[in-house]
Amino acid sequence: MSNPLKDMMMNSDGPLVAGWTMFASPLVAEAMAWAGYDFIVIDAEHSPLTPMSALHSMQAVASTGTPALLRLADQSETGIKQMMDCGAKSLMIPMVETGEQAQALVNATRYAPLGHRGFAFMHRASRFGTDSSYLETANDEVMLIAQIETPQAMKQLEVIAETKGIDAIFIGPGDMSAAMGFPGQATGEDVMEVMQDAVRRAKAIGVKIGGLAANPAMAKNLLAMGYDFVPVGNDIALLSRAAKAALEDVRGNE
């Protein structure tokens, strides 16, 4: 067993473009995964995703060969343990603001002696006990991404990013805009200056960095800045925009 997304991200010579699913639907997640993205983000923070529907979405995406990144709802050790036992190897955790929080997340995702992840062997991650190498390889296969989403977190960017066991950081412009006093202005000039500052500092210390793009134009902008991975849009937004465009097209031809 291995972690294809970790291998891809750590060894890629070029940027990665991801899809993002928020419908909490295995069928939609599977359809997104067939679209050709480098990987798919399965979002449990701003969606009705449950542990069972997360499991089903991971199974659906796995059938396509496209790697999946699970964005958890919070920093709960219980939630981390449950999703890892369900087979999640690549995790993105929101609202990391300090080195202490980053270290706590590393500890929660690793078995002893590197951490204190709760131990079980009979689960999907170990192929229900049939993978005899699981306990030897599980710690190495984890990919952990810390989201930096506030000015306070930006002050600690290097401390968070250089915590051993944090593989990459991710800038969330939506929460960043709200924390800066500009809610809903993820593409605003002030937020984009923060995005530029973040990628410059990440490159200076040799850490992979990603950023969420609200639209294709923003994605191209982030890639031009030097971001290593950029999810663009999400399934709900894509469907809503396409539905609206189709309706306007029909009504415009009446």
In the chain, domain spans: 4-252
Q: How would you write the chain as a 3-class SS string?
A: CCCHHHHHHHHCCCCEEEEEECCCCHHHHHHHHCCCCCEEEEECCCCCCCHHHHHHHHHHHHCCCCCEEEECCCCCHHHHHHHHHCCCCEEEECCCCCHHHHHHHHHHHCCCCCCCCCCCCCCHHHCCCCCCCHHHHHHHHCEEEEEECCHHHHHCHHHHHCCCCCCEEEECHHHHHHHCCCCCCCCCHHHHHHHHHHHHHHHHCCCEEEECECCHHHHHHHHHHCCCEEEECCHHHHHHHHHHHHHHHHHHCC
**Could you read off the pLDDT of 84-130 as tens digits, one per residue?**
999 999 999 999 999 999 999 999 999 999 999 999 999 999 999 99
Provide the annotated active-site residues: 46
Q: Is the domain defined by 4-252 classed in CATH 3.90.1580.10?
A: no
Helix 77-85 with 99-109: angle, nearest 10 deg: 40
Q: In this predicted structure, what is the pLDDT of residue 254?
A: 57
- What lies within 8 Å, CB to CB, of 243 at 6+ separation is none
Taking the model in full, what pTM does it have? 0.95
Give, in order, the Cα–Cα distances in Å from 196 to each of 6, 90, 148: 24, 25, 13
| C-beta of residue 90 within 8 angstroms of C-beta of residue 143 | yes
Report how far apart, in Å, the C-alpha atoms of 198 and of each of 42, 89, 169 are: 24, 25, 9
The segments of the chain whose pLDDT lies below 70 read 1, 253-254
- The neighbour count for residue 218, using CB atoms within 10 Å, is 20
What is the C-alpha end-to-end distance of the chain, expressed in Å? 57
* Neighbouring-strand partners of residue 68: 40
**Of 54, 16, 4, 35, the residue nearest 231 (C-alpha):** 16
User: How far does Cα 108 stand from its chain's mean position?
Assistant: 17
d(CA 63, CA 107): 30
As a whole number of angstroms, the distance between CA 83 and CA 69 comes to 11
Give pLDDT, residue 122: 94
pLDDT of residue 160: 98
**What pLDDT sits at residue 170?**
98
The confidence score (pLDDT) of residue 252 equals 82
